[in-house]
Chain A
Amino acid sequence: MMPLSLADTYLLGLPLVEMWYVVMFLTLAMFLWLDGSNFGIGILFGVVDDEEIKESMLTAVAPLWDGTEVWLIVFGGAMFAVFPDVYAGLFSGNYLLMFLILGALIIRGVSPEFREQRHDESWQRLWGVLFVAGSTLAPFFLGVFTANWLIGSTSLVSLPGIVVGLVVVTLSAVEGAAFTNMKLEEKSAMVSTYGTIAQVAYLVLAVTTVGYLYLFVEGMAAKVLSPFALLLVALTALLGIAYIVLLRTGQSLPAFVTAGVQTFGLIALVGYLLYPTIYPIDGLLVQDAAVSVLAMNVMTVVLVIFLPLVLLYFAVLYNAFRGPVQAGEGY
């Protein structure tokens, strides 16, 4: 039986509720970075016309996407376990949007796998198109979801929804371009160009979003003008420039990491703008949304044991598939 103290006070007296608030967003950021780069590959798959590069893109995605997608499952699971009211409210409130996200994820998930099963042209074209569609729509709808969360809306179509949707799509393309060039034997100038375009679009859209929040969303103005938020915006712009330089000079790994820092910056901004509210529609505060002390402590023990292991798995996975893809890789 658990000692009683576990139910009375948070482990080591740590502010676990705030910590889990951060952890929840960290898992979302990991998802948007790692799986986002896979989305980005899917997005670029639609515009790159070199067949060899396209094959390399698919080969690069194949061993990774399953693992990277689990970050979304962990994000959902963490929210369910620690902030169940938020999970319930957000998911049921955005009912149809959630199914659009799921639909896009299903199509994105199965299409590369199905595509490889037959080698005639019409079959490959069908699943290629679906791969691009799923990879583009999944981040778009996730962006709409994030916008709705932030501004306390549940609308399926709205201006901020579309803009933030495009923010996530362009960011995915930014990550995907760096990742693609990382996986190519010879860097592709075309991919770098797409990466640059995506980065510029991302910066414009991100600034537009922040401007929208400042002007039109009640209670956001002061937060947007706070030093922390402004610093994040400035950092994003600087990283954007660095990314373009790195990508164009063939340093794709640093460019991929830079895009990752941008992703964490974006999510940090979302988390910062929400806090101390966690569910703006109801004005629910982070503290009030948290589960009991004992449940929080148990989940923290699970996290402390398994998060380092998860990071280890990813290190092993990415290490095994480091460097350019090799022709004919597969099972």
Chain B
Amino acid sequence: MVDPVLASRLQFAWTTAIHIIFPTLSMGLAPFLVYWTWKEVRGDGEVYARLRRFWAKIFALTFVSGTVTGIVLEFEFGTNFAAYSSIVGGIFGGPLATEGLMAFMLESTMLGIFLFGRDRVSDRMYLVSAFLVGLGSWLSAVWILIANAWMQTPAGFEMGTRAGEEVAVITDPVAAYLTPRFFYMFTHMQTAAVLSAALFIAGIASYKLLTTDDRSAFWKKTMKVALIAMIITAPLLAVQGDAYGRHVHETQESKMAAIEAIWDTEAYAPLHLVAVPTSTDNVVAPAEEDLFTIGIPWVGSMLAGAGDPATVITGFEDIEHDLPPYLLVFYSFRAMVGLGFWFIFLALWGVYRWRQGDLFDDTLLQKAMVASTGLGVLAVEFGWMVTEIGRQPWAVQDVLLVSDGVSPGLTGGEATLTLVGFIFAYTALLSIWAYLVFRIVRTGPEPPSDGTAPTTTDGGAEVPAK
């Protein structure tokens, strides 16, 4: 039997970690689908209709899995974090309700048309539906990140009362919802989503190039558009991440200290490359004397202060509350950044080969791409661990502790039961999703029509088969 607070934290962490895979991919795939639909509707060749149909199958599976796991997250605030919901619901609930009304409604209704309505609506309406599905998925991220950014850098409220209980009352919606953190988060997350989808697409295309004789326009076009997305997003992500990191330094001392594993408040702080606990007492958050580190002098401060080594980084010694499990944050951050550099390298490698004219002959590159299929999503997972674990022990930074947000009547038995249930159910869901995606990939896209059954586009124009 796990303690209800710990079980609730683990359950939320687990359900979020699985859920985030799906929206990351669907948000990232959306622009590709809009592009292919646009080319299809313009009549630029049957291959685009096949591209759209093939990737829409994967998109549909992903979207559905994201929907069902997303409802769980919304409801978990009520089931497991009832005190949190009561206290900050007047602020935090607003963006969630708005997400449903403004974004999710748009996305899921238009998805019905996009997936099933090709022959029922006009070409123009069909393209619009593709665009609105994508817009809806991005707006969803807007409201979820507005809510999350408020938890990181709360603003625009004061403590008041409702029905005799002390609760957070909104005083300035603009300050509460349009926090600087939101802009850093949103741009970073959306770029990461597109890059994750690009890696996913490139990995699948490379797999097909490696394992089949199919060198058709289908996989070549897939590969090239994914590479273009990678060469734009991978470096951009690093630039955004750097700015985001400086913002964290300015606004969330303990998260910054966790990212850098820094104990002493100091200027000329090092960038720790390695931090190893030397005692087994608390492996994820060891005491100062139990932490062995290797670092590069000055660089930590320079990163936090846009190149100025005199920048002071607050260490754990000056932080009054409990420490986050900071080695998880420390290594998640390094894993994310490490993967980010790998993606930049991979994008440069691919583009270099493309320019050389032998993009489709470099099997080593293709193998690297296959190996990287899921790494974008993995990097997003690490990023979210930095964001969410780095905020611990707070649910709302410096306002509400996670332990004070858990449902008061929740028993360890109930919480453990549902935690175990979710571990099984989500493992099954993710496995089936992965199996079905792989099955779609192995089967491959439908073959091009051989010309005897011409594909018609709007207006009855015939498109010659490839």
Contacts and interface: CB of A to CB of B under 8 A. Distances in A.
Given A117-B440, A316-B113, A320-B117, A2 B174 contact: yes
Interface residues of B, number: 82
B180 interface: no
A275 interface: no
Given A105-B71, A291-B90, A87 B78 contact: yes
A78 B97 contact: yes
Contact of B80 (A7, A81, A92, A110): A92
Interface string B75-118: 10111101101101111111011111110111011111111111
B337 interface: no
A95 B101 contact: no
A109 B67 contact: yes
B158 to A, nearest CB: 10
A114 to B, nearest CB: 6
A1 B175 CA distance: 8
B429 interface: yes
Interface string A93-133: 10110110011011001100110011000000000000000
Given A69-B108, A76-B74, A113 B113 contact: no
Contact of B163 (A63, A289, A316, A330): A289
A72 interface: yes
A190 B117 CA distance: 29
A306 B102 contact: yes
Given A2-B172, A99-B79, A84 B104 contact: no
B171 interface: yes
Contacts of A91: 75, 77-79, 82, 85
B347 to A, nearest CB: 30
Interface residues of A, number: 68
B421 A99 contact: yes
Contact of B64 (A66, A95, A316): A66
Contacts of A81: 89-90, 93-94, 96-98
B447 to A, nearest CB: 17
A73 B436 CA distance: 27
Chain A CB count within 10 A is highest, among B78, B91, B108, for B78
Interface string A178-192: 000000000000000
A314 interface: yes
A80 B88 CA distance: 10
A96 B89 contact: no
Interface stretch (A215-223, A242-250, A296-304): A296-304
A74 B115 CA distance: 23
B169 interface: yes
A329 interface: yes
A159 interface: no
Given A67-B109, A91-B79, A291-B90, A73 B425 contact: no
B306 interface: no
Nearest to A112: B64
B112 A295 contact: no
B60 interface: yes
B355 interface: no
Contacts of B418: 95-96, 99
Given A81-B93, A92-B80, A302-B102, A321 B172 contact: no
A98 B75 contact: yes
B56 A92 contact: no
B146 to A, nearest CB: 12
Nearest to A97: B79
A80 B106 contact: no
B116 A66 contact: no
B65 interface: yes
Contacts of A294: 169-171, 173
B96 to A, nearest CB: 5
Interface in A1-29: 1-2, 7
B320 to A, nearest CB: 29
B85 A84 contact: yes
Nearest to B136: A313
B261 to A, nearest CB: 36
A106 B109 contact: no
Contacts of B170: 292, 294-295, 298
Interface string A274-305: 00000000001000111110110011001100
Interface string A59-80: 0001110110110111011101
A130 B160 CA distance: 47
Contact of A102 (B61, B72, B436): B72
A102 B91 contact: no
Interface string B331-351: 000000000000000000000
Contacts of B74: 73, 76-77, 80
B465 to A, nearest CB: 20
A331 B118 contact: yes
Interface in B99-156: 99-102, 104-106, 108-121, 125
A167 B371 CA distance: 52
B359 interface: no
B68 interface: yes
Contact of B100 (A70, A110, A320): A70
A90 interface: yes
A82 B417 CA distance: 30
B68 A105 contact: yes
Nearest to B128: A316
Contact of B109 (A88, A299, A314, A329): A314
A93 B78 CA distance: 9
A109 B111 CA distance: 14
B214 interface: no
B110 A95 contact: no
B60 A331 contact: yes
B100 A74 contact: yes
Interface in B165-214: 165, 167, 169-175
B57 interface: yes
Given A66-B112, A330-B116, A88 B100 contact: no
A225 to B, nearest CB: 30
A95 B414 contact: yes
A312 to B, nearest CB: 9
Contacts of A82: 93, 97
B410 interface: yes
Nearest to A323: B120
Closest A-B pairs by Cβ, 8 of them: A84-B89, A91-B78, A77-B97, A63-B112, A81-B93, A80-B93, A92-B82, A88-B82
Given A70-B100, A321-B116, 10 more contacts: A67-B111, A74-B101, A76-B75, A77-B100, A80-B92, A84-B86, A84-B93, A92-B407, A95-B79, A96-B418
18 contacts: A1-B172, A66-B63, A69-B71, A73-B74, A76-B78, A80-B77, A87-B78, A87-B89, A96-B414, A102-B75, A290-B162, A295-B169, A306-B102, A309-B105, A314-B109, A329-B116, A331-B57, A331-B116
